Amino acid sequence: MSMTPIGKLQKTFGAHGELLLALYGDGATLPQKSPVFVNVEGLDVPFYIKNIAEKGGKFVVIFDDMEQEALAAELVGKEICAAQAERRTASALPAASEAWLGYTFVDAAHGVIGKLTRRLAYPGNPVLELATEQGKEILIPDNPDFVVGVDKRKKVVSVRLPEGLVELYLAD
CATH (domain of 163): 2.30.30.240
Percentage of the chain surpassing pLDDT 90?
17
Do 82 and 114 fall within a single domain? Answer: no
At which of 45, 65, 89 does a domain end? 89
Report the alpha-carbon angle 109-148-97, nearest 5. Answer: 110
Report the alpha-carbon angle 103-154-90, nearest 5. Answer: 65
Q: Which domain holds residue 133?
A: 98-170
- pLDDT tens profile 21-45: 888 765 556 776 778 888 888 888 8
Counted domains in the chain: 2
Do 107 and 80 fall within a single domain? Answer: no
Q: Tell me, what's the pLDDT at 87?
A: 40
In this prediction the pTM is 0.48
Q: Tell me, what's the pLDDT at 114?
A: 93
Coil, helix or strand at residue 136: coil
Do 111 and 69 fall within a single domain? Answer: no
- pLDDT tens profile 87-103: 433 333 344 455 788 99
Q: Residue 15: CA atoms inside 13 Å, Cβ hemisphere, count?
A: 0
Q: Tell me, what's the pLDDT at 76?
A: 93
Q: Tell me, what's the pLDDT at 29?
A: 67
pLDDT beneath 50: ranges in the chain: 85-96
Q: Tell me, what's the pLDDT at 127?
A: 84
Q: Tell me, what's the pLDDT at 125?
A: 76
